[in-house]
Amino acid sequence: MSGHTYKVCCCFHRRFAITAAEAPPEIKAMFDRYSDNGLMDAERLRRFLIEVQKQENATVEEAQRIMEGLHDLKHLNLFHRRAIHLDTFFRFLFGDSNPPLSPLIGVHHDMTAPLSHYFIHTGHNSYLTGNQLSSDCSDVPIIQALQRGVRVIELDIWPNSAKDNVEVLHGRTLTTPVELIKCLKSIKDHAFSASEYPVVITLEDHLTPDLQAKVAEMVTQTFGEILFSPGSECLKEFPSPESLKKRIIISTKPPKEYLESKELKGKEDESQKEKDSAYEEAWGREVPDITTDVKDDTDEGMDDQDAEDLDDGDPKSQQIAAPEYKRLIAIHAGKGKGGLQDWLRVDPDKVRRLSLSEQELEKAVITHGKEIVRFTQRNILRVYPKGIRFDSSNYNPLIGWMHGAQMVAFNMQGYGRSLWVMHGMFKANGGCGYVKKPDFLLKLGSNNEVFDPRATLPVKTTLKVTVYMGEGWHLDFRPTHFDPYSPPDFYTRVGIAGVPADTVMKKTKPIEDNWVPVWNEEFEFPLTVPELALLRIEVHEYDMSEKDDFGGQTCLPVSELRSGIRAVPLHSQKGEKYKSVKLLMRFQFV
């Protein structure tokens, strides 16, 4: 942009200019080092790509193609087509063709290992449009999640009011239901729009056997041959994402023949009390008694221990499992008998899925951290938000990931820093929704030991981050968005989400009254477990009297970060990429 654009405040009639972005001093110095008499030819650009950008295989031909892409060739003679000036070099560095993650590598992890060897992009209550208590249930958020690459969709299934059909809703709340068949059809239509790797549907089942049989019929007819159903027996080992491409997998607790009694009903009522009292506190009214079937927010359903504890002398009804429903369940869920020690027992002959709430996990890692890591080497652990997160907020996903949990289930409509970290993790491996876990979470050490997330480890590498400058806000925001009377005062927060020893946030100084802020600040981040580290970047506008305004964010997997000077696009709070806002940064591993 050349010259000055003026904007006028109607209150103070104050004029201020938006200055054109120009290369900061470090970039000018870099250009001087790799140019001759103010011109950089293809050979010098190649040297820059190899030495600064760490693109070891860069060729002169590649450098020439970059230069040709930057020139408007019609207006240049042959000599100037063979070299670039500082402004063109700056435009290349700050351009869309120079992102911080390679757009070319796509899926590059080994996809032939069992499902338990991957972190999987997982949704919680995937049908909710907003909060957990009164929002609409719909297939729209399911479609949006699948289009974003989410690979695990959760559906809570309940009888309708007539008890003759199946609905999806969040039980004992004011959420309006959506028909199960509508959700299933939308999953079929959109499952592989962003990724061809398998979609798992986790069912939180509140149905009678006759309705389970109806669900079996719906699922079979909707998905047909793309449904992966190995039969009613538990798998000995999970298949690989590669072998399950374009397949749908059902996961829930297999129904058993059990007796339902008043005693169990009382147990379940007790488990609901915490949520009910929190609901009343949050909403200032009593919990709506929508259904008499009460269950805590977990898809494990009734545990084996519950069934054993029943008083056989006082049965209310006999439940007979629907065999056709049971056969559809490929990933069996269940806690098993006893307490945590038993839940985490590894069976050499079969694999399963265990679900823990974020609170259960936080308590479990204190006493059983290594056992959880050992369990997740073969089995799947799903973590879900605690029941009192009525606002659909989320939690720290790293607690689950660093203990090997594959399915860290998130409210995809719960925008905020936790969800930004989730987005960052699944930008890895081509955004396919499956990220191979680091080897240390999959293999035993030389003395048969497992990874201990609480151990103090030596620094493996140090990431040096330079924040040069930012631009694009004046194109994507109204002139008065940040401040009605003057240009914004932007600052950048940059840091690491990772294991506790690596987790930190730092920030630049604010640059006053400037739409094109230049910070030129450098930060160092020593990393003990770089494999689980994510680089968090946020821009805010400093506001003395109120909360600072949000100016953009992104989160990037450190394992896939490209070294060198890169143009980093920023995203909105909802994770949508801005058209123009980006930062110029440098990443170095030292």
Active site residue 124: yes
49-63 burial: b if 16+ Cβ within 10 Å, else e: beebbebeebeeeeb
Q: How many CB atoms lie within 10 A of CB 29?
A: 10
Full 3-state SS string of 222-257 = HHHHHEECCCCCCCCCCCCCCCCCCCEEEEECCCCC
The active-site residue, picked from 117, 121, 124, 474, is: 124
Question: Which tokens in the block code for residue 227?
Answer: 């449904």
Please tell me the distance from the alpha carbon of residue 517 to that of residue 382, in angstroms, as a whole number.
43
**DSSP strand E in 278-324: where?**
315-319
DSSP state string for 170-203:
-TTSSPBPEEHHHHHHHHHHHTTSS--S-EEEEE
Q: Which residues contact 298 (CB under 8 A, 6 or more apart)?
A: 204, 355, 357, 384
Q: How many CB atoms lie within 10 A of CB 119?
A: 25
Instruction: Give the residue from 299, 268, 116, 68 showing the smallest Cα distance to 201.
Output: 299
Q: How many CB atoms lie within 10 A of CB 116?
A: 22
**CB of 108 within 8 A of CB of 435?**
no
Instruction: Give the residue from 380, 322, 328 showing the smallest Cα distance to 350.
Output: 380
Q: Which helix (H) or strand (E) holds 554?
A: strand 549-557
**CB of 102 within 8 A of CB of 225?**
no
The active-site residue, picked from 117, 121, 170, 403, is: 170
Please tell me the distance from the alpha carbon of residue 369 to that of residue 361, in angstroms, as a whole number.
9
Q: How many CB atoms lie within 10 A of CB 271?
A: 15
Q: How many residues does the chain have?
A: 590
DSSP state string for 20-64:
PP---HHHHHHHHHT-BTTBEEHHHHHHHHHHTS--TT--HHHHH
Kindly state the DSSP code that residue 566 receives in the 8-state scheme.
Answer: E
Q: Which residues contact 200 (CB under 8 A, 6 or more apart)?
A: 120, 151, 152, 153, 248, 249, 250, 251, 331, 407
CA distances from 29 to 26, 75, 154 (A): 5, 28, 53
101-111 burial: b if 16+ Cβ within 10 Å, else e: beeeeeeebeb
Please tell me the distance from the alpha carbon of residue 157 to that of residue 328, in angstroms, as a whole number.
16
Residues annotated as catalytic (active site), given as ranges:
124, 170
